[in-house]
């Protein structure tokens, strides 16, 4: 079984956030990503906006933060 890596980007209370998810699903829907995020942020789940899912071909380098633009 293949294990796919996904980057989930979202906005929660006007703050950008990202998380990674490993899944056996070849294609991860926004709805499935939102369900996963609701599990991570149970008390704040209703305020998610701009949920995006991107399948990654490889792990990101240590010390880097993929996702929404981050100001220097």
- What's the whole-model pTM score? 0.72
Model confidence pLDDT, tens digit, residues 1-60: 568 999 999 998 888 999 999 988 889 999 999 889 988 877 665 677 899 999 987 665
Distance between CA atoms of 71 and 31, rounded to whole angstroms?
Answer: 29
Q: Give the CA dihedral 43, 70, 27, 49, nearest 10 degrees.
A: 40
CB 67 within 8 A of CB 16: yes
């Amino acid at each position: 079984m293949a294990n796919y890596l996904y980057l989930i980007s979202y906005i929660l209370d006007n703050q950008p956030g990202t998380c990674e998810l490993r899944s056996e699903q070849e294609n991860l829907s926004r709805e499935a990503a939102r369900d996963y995020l609701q599990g991570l942020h149970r008390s704040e789940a209703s305020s998610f906006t701009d949920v995006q899912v991107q399948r990654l071909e490889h792990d990101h380098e240590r010390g880097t933060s993929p996702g929404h633009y981050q100001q220097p």
